[in-house]
C-alpha cells in the first residue's frame, strides 16, 4: 500500500460517460478515491449506495468522491443509472490506477487463490498527497468512516 505523506500517483481513466478524468483535474480539492472489486455485486452495491446517500455531506465539505474498478465504461454507466450514483466511477481494465495504488492483490475465496482488487480507500489532500490510507474497508461503513474522519480532522 502507498503511505500517508506520499504524493498520490496521477492517472487518467475514462468515467462512466467515456470522458477522460485525471486525478490532477482535482488539484486544490480533497479526493476520496475508493477501489472496489466489481459493479453490481452485493458488497460493492452497498458501498456505492452508502457513498450516494452521504454524497451531499461530502459535497458540503468540498470533497470529490471517485470509485475505481476494472469494469468497463458500459458496466459503470449501467451501475450509475441503476442506483442513481451521483459521483464519478472510473474504468480501469488495464489496472493502471489499481496497480499504481497497490490494491491488486492475491485473494483467497472458498479455498481458491486469484488476483483481484482489495476494497481500499485513499483520502488525498488538496495538495495531492495521501492524507489517509484505509486498507480492506468494509462496504457498509466505508463512507461513514470517512465522514467521521473528516469531521474529527476539522475539529482537531
| Burial grade of 78 (CB within 10 A; 0-12, 13-18, 19 or more) | middle
Cβ atoms of 79 and 48 closer than 8 Å: yes
Angstrom distance (rounded) from CA 49 to CA 85: 7
Exposure string for 93-123, b = 16+ CB within 10 A, e = fewer: eeebbbebbbbbeeeeeeeeeeeebbbbbbb
44, 97, 124, 146: the active-site residue: 44
Instruction: Indicate the DSSP class of residue 37.
Output: S
44 is catalytic: yes
Angstrom distance (rounded) from CA 12 to CA 15: 10
Question: Catalytic residues, which ones?
Answer: 44
Amino acid at each position: 500500500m502507498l503511505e500517508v505523506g506520499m504524493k498520490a500517483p496521477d492517472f487518467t481513466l475514462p468515467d462512466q460517460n467515456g470522458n477522460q478524468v485525471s486525478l490532477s483535474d482535482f488539484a486544490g480539492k480533497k479526493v476520496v478515491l475508493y477501489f472496489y472489486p466489481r459493479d453490481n455485486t452485493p458488497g460493492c452495491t452497498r458501498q456505492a449506495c452508502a457513498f450516494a446517500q452521504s454524497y451531499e455531506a461530502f459535497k458540503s465539505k468540498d470533497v470529490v468522491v471517485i470509485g475505481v474498478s476494472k469494469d468497463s465504461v458500459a458496466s459503470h454507466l449501467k451501475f450509475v443509472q441503476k442506483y442513481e450514483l451521483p459521483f464519478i466511477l472510473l474504468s480501469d481494465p488495464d489496472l493502471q490506477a489499481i496497480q499504481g495504488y497497490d490494491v491488486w492483490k492475491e485473494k483467497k475465496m472458498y479455498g481458491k487463490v486469484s488476483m483481484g482488487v482489495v476494497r481500499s480507500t485513499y483520502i488525498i489532500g488538496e495538495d495531492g498527497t495521501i492524507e489517509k490510507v484505509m486498507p480492506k474497508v468494509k462496504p457498509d461503513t466505508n463512507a461513514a468512516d470517512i465522514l467521521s474522519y473528516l469531521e474529527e480532522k476539522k475539529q482537531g
